[in-house]
A and B are shown apart, each in its own frame.
Chain A
């Protein structure tokens, strides 16, 4: 039986203090929390289910917890996460998975603009569409977009892979359409099995960086 944390319109400090105590005891459920921003920040373990929509910066600096959102997520989901998992059943707003070093983010719906910017190693899976300026200056990790992307996809991509099932409006600077290898297919299939994605990995395109140092002439 998960522990229920009742928000009752309280502020972040109060709710967060109770959450930190509660997760030590077992799985936690919380709802009516969309006015709270920066919920479940920097947790090293635990399981939290948000049985409603959630605010901005959910799971920021997440370092090992598993966080599930039954509704829609706000902006900046799982900002700067290093470990753990954040799963959203609805849509997510602007800036999913920015600056992350590791962990997994799954958004069942769509995500907004500037998704996966400066992602340094997380696995970010968006089952719907994504907006513009996605994966700008990405430095590592995998971004999987099952749907379509907007403008300037992968602008100044440096490391990491973008796998996209649908179409994109335009590609950013320093991008290259690469061949989907056997290793890629194996990895994509495993993502699809793990997260119940109904798509054929062989139809996906792969975008990687063109040059490792696109800003100046390296030695």
Chain B
């Protein structure tokens, strides 16, 4: 499928263009364009063959000896008709015609806030106010499980990495999240893809399994997720974390379970999840082994028992209003 960006308008001003007056005399734009926006026909005449492939690098405009090319941004479809942007619609057509899923990285297009955007406002009622905001240190520590377990979690900041499974993410991405959590003293979550062993030492700031090389201070916490598919779940898995998260729902697929298609299930992912290479991992929407609230309480009780009452047990709820996605 040819590239579809649909974000730029490509204009050739034929009154200036050398090729328009004398085909074969100049084809600079065709020669320099890295994205095949231009094409030459049989008579060496230049024309725009795929303006949708233009990424706005403007190399053609710079190299045009007659300054005959204008690259202007098209009206942003993300503003005008999100989510039905041209690339999105083309992708849907492709899927409908071929019956194939598009496997690609999705990334994030939202702007994440940073500490320039965040103001910490002192509490005045829920807890004692500071004496003076200039002369008292601001401590962003959050303690989880102080009253309920032997080893509570002490986050340095009130942030955590949400669950994104090994399988949804690559090994490198999982490792990076654990290193990031170790560097900042926050929490990472395995998600429902099972445990990638390296994360158990990376999360504590160690570069190696023997834990002789501590590279990242202060070290973070790894929470293991107990979810609806139970991929890679065993007693050892439950005990490997600094906490256990009982997942009831997720925002990524509201009302549904996580789906990992077979095309993404590599040898390593298959081994960690305990399923064959290339097979789908389709989690159900809810637990087959919980039918009411009492069952849920018993489930938490046995998770506590298996972890010897040492670690905090979390709940993850994902109720979502579908129109807000």
Contact = CB atoms under 8 A, between A and B. Distances in A.
Interface of A: 12-13, 16, 37-38, 41-44, 56-57, 60-63, 76, 79-80, 82, 94-95, 98-99, 101, 114, 117-118, 120-121, 136-137, 139, 158-159, 212-213, 215-219
A154 to B, nearest CB: 15
A38 B279 contact: no
Interface in B286-317: 288-289, 291, 295, 298-299, 301-302, 304-306, 309
A118 B235 contact: no
A101 B262 contact: no
16 contacts: A12-B301, A38-B299, A41-B305, A41-B306, A61-B238, A61-B306, A63-B234, A76-B289, A76-B295, A94-B291, A98-B289, A99-B230, A99-B233, A118-B229, A120-B274, A158-B280
Given A37-B301, A118-B230, A219 B284 contact: no
Contacts of B280: 158, 213, 215
Given A12-B301, A56-B295, A212 B279 contact: yes
Nearest to B289: A76
Interface residues of B, number: 32
Interface string B227-244: 001100111101100000
Given A13-B309, A82-B235, A95-B289, A219 B299 contact: no
Among the interface residues B236, B275, B276, B302, which one has the most CB atoms of the partner chain A within 10 A?
B302
A80 to B, nearest CB: 6
Given A98-B288, A117-B288, A212-B279, A38 B301 contact: yes
A44 B235 contact: yes
B100 interface: yes
B48 interface: no
Interface of B: 99-101, 229-230, 233-236, 238-239, 262-263, 274-276, 279-280, 282, 284, 288-289, 291, 295, 298-299, 301-302, 304-306, 309
Given A12-B301, A213-B280, A63 B233 contact: no
A80 B298 contact: no
A57 B235 contact: no
Contact of B234 (A95, A101, A139, A219): A101
A2 B280 CA distance: 45
Contacts of B101: 216
Given A37-B302, A38-B305, A80 B233 contact: yes
B282 A218 contact: no
A159 B280 CA distance: 11
Q: Lowest 7 A-B CB distances belong to which pairs?
A: A38-B302, A42-B235, A42-B306, A99-B230, A61-B235, A217-B99, A37-B298
A114 B287 CA distance: 12
B100 A79 contact: no
Nearest to A20: B308
Contacts of B302: 12, 37-38, 41, 57, 60-61
